[in-house]
Amino acid sequence: MKFGLFTCGYQRAALENAFADAVRFGYDYIELWGGWPHGFAPDLLSDDGAEVRGLIQRFGVPVKVYTPEHNAYPYNYMLGSRRQWEDSMEYLEAAIRAGAAIGAEYTLVSLGHSGGLPLQERTRRLERSLLRLADAAQRLGHALVVENLTPWESDACTNLASYAALLERLDHPALCGMCDVVVPFVQGEDPADYPRRLGSRMRHLHLVDSDGISETHLVPGEGMMPLGRVLRDIRAAGYDGAATLELVTHYIDAPSRYARLALERAKELMV
Which residues belong to the active site?
Answer: 147, 246
**Cα separation of the two ends of the chain:** 12
Cα–Cα dist 61/29, whole Å: 6
Q: Which of 227, 251, 248, 230 is nearest to 239 (CA)?
A: 230
* 73 close to 35: Cβ distance less than 8 angstroms: yes
* 254 close to 10: Cβ distance less than 8 angstroms: no
* Ramachandran region, residue 110 (left: φ > 0; alpha: ψ -120 to 50; beta: rest): beta
Indicate the residue type of 64. Answer: K
Measured in whole angstroms, how far is the alpha carbon of residue 95 from the centre of its chain? 13
SS3 119: helix
Cα–Cα dist 177/199, whole Å: 9
Cα–Cα dist 255/220, whole Å: 15
